[in-house]
Amino acid sequence: MEQNKKIVIINSEKISENEGYYSCDNIDMKSITEGLSENFDIFFIAKKSNIKRSHRINLRKIKIVSNIFSFISAIINTFKNRDTKYLLVSITPYVFFSYILLFIFRKKIFVYLRSSGHEEYKAKLGFIGYLFYHVMYSCVTFKSKIISCQKRLVKNKDYDLVFPSELDARWFENISKPTLDIPRILYVGRIRVEKGIFSFLKMFSKINTNIKLSIVGKSEDLKITSNNINLVGFIADTTQLIKNYDQHNITVLPSFTEAHPKVVDESLARGRPVIIFEEIKHIEKKFGIFVSKRNVESLLETIQNIMNSYDEIQKKIKKNKLPTKKEFISQVVKILKQN
């Protein structure tokens, strides 16, 4: 580790603390903080959660705060080292105010865009949400070095492209042959409106044929009565997550907005094709991704086409060059060192 190279990571992720250990729900934040700590002296500032989170972060230098004032105070306390660099992960109100402070004190700022905030805020709050995010985006990217996982997120600004991934050797080992008696569909992700899961469940309720659906994610807000739907719950263990992919033959990603969804690469790594919908057809750049219209007829047709050509589809999936977690961290490290 280059001890003199300090990086402060700032994000609105909610972190829980228990007996000196910190945990988050977003595996992406765990990966970034731990991965970069092998090359830099990392200090992570995030929001406090009173709810126990799922992924333990193997990093000791973490500061969790309960409000915006203590958030800003924690950032000011890092100003002692003049050479410190700051990595803002995603743009939120907390990150926005952090940027204003860092800009005033002329700090070296990087911002990592990992999803389309414009589309997410629009999905939640309509056009007002879009405008609100755009104001934050315009400010935060004004004098920052931009790191992005998608060209379409940067609005014609200069940026460095990275390919986020959680894939390691385990994802490519002992790939089992899927059972093809009936369509067995898997959803992995957050239970949020913008993720399209509620829209998908409405479609699924109109299907009369024998199709099974499993949902991996925190599903307390879901009320399911169908015998064809299995609420698996949240899975933190990678081995168990791989097992769930292997127990199904199709993965569905019904999101209304995505940039570089990791679930797609995870499914393809296990040889399982993925169904997406037209709103995110821009990610259709690998073998094994199929675009459906957001209606029952198109969905059933897409499922049937996959099942009818499954062996041929799997052969094509093997041709994909999928990004790995190690490659992703190396990309970010290189950017932070060179700028």
**Pick from 280, 257, 288: nearest CA to 129:** 257
Place 194 in a pLDDT band, splitting at 50, 70 and 90.
confident
Q: How far is CA 216 from CA 91, 114, 212, 222, 318, in A?
A: 26, 21, 13, 12, 25
Residue 86 clears pLDDT 90, i.e. is over it = yes
**261-319 pLDDT, tens per residue?**
999 999 999 999 999 999 999 888 899 999 999 999 999 999 999 999 999 999 999 99
Which of 50, 110, 38, 98 is closest to 71 using CA atoms?
98
Task: Select the more confidently predicted residue: 120 or 45.
Answer: 45
Residue bearing the bigger pLDDT, 221 or 77: 77
pLDDT value of position 202? 92
Cα separation values, 195 from 113, 156, 222, 224, 281, Å: 18, 26, 14, 18, 14
CA dist 89 and 45 (Å) reads 11
Contacts of 5 (CB under 8 A, 6+ apart): 39, 40, 41, 83, 85, 337
What pLDDT is recorded for position 9? 98
Least confident of 27-41, 54-68, 167-181, 209-223: 209-223
Percent of the chain with pLDDT over 90: 77
CATH of domain 6-165+326-338: 3.40.50.2000
Assess contact for 109 and 78: CB atoms under 8 A. Answer: no
For 182-201, what is the mean pLDDT?
A: 92
Mean of all residue pLDDT scores within the chain: 93
For residue 297, what pLDDT is reported?
97
Strand 229-233 relative to strand 62-65, pairing = unpaired
Q: How much of the chain, in percent, has pLDDT values that exceed 70?
A: 99
Give the pLDDT confidence score for residue 259 in this predicted structure: 83
The CATH class, in words, for 169-317 is alpha beta
Phi-psi region of 271 (alpha: psi -120 to 50; beta: other; left: phi over 0): left
- This model's pTM is above 0.75: yes
For the chain, the farthest-separated pair of C-alpha atoms sits apart, in whole angstroms, at 64
Residues 6+ positions from 299 with CB-CB distance below 8 Å: 203, 207, 275, 292, 293
CA 261 to chain centroid, in Å, comes to 6
Amino acid at 215: I
String of DSSP letters for 275-288:
EEEGGGGGG--STT
Residue in the block written with tokens 């700590």: 37
User: Is the confidence at residue 2, as pLDDT, over 90?
Assistant: no
**If pLDDT is split at 50, 70 and 90, which confidence band does 4 have?**
low
If one counts every other C-beta atom within 10 angstroms of the C-beta of residue 56, the result is 15
d(CA 66, CA 87) in angstroms, rounded, equals 20
Mean pLDDT value of segment 70-80: 95
Say whether pLDDT at 50 is over 80.
yes
Q: Beta-strand (E) ranges in 33-131?
A: 41-48, 55-57, 62-65, 85-89, 108-113
| pLDDT tens per residue, range 138-152 | 999 999 999 999 888
Alpha carbon distances (Å) from 214 to 26, 224, 248: 21, 11, 9
Domain with CATH 3.40.50.2000 in the chain: 6-165+326-338, 169-317
Going by C-alpha positions, the residue among 124, 95, 111, 121 that lies closest to residue 154 is 111
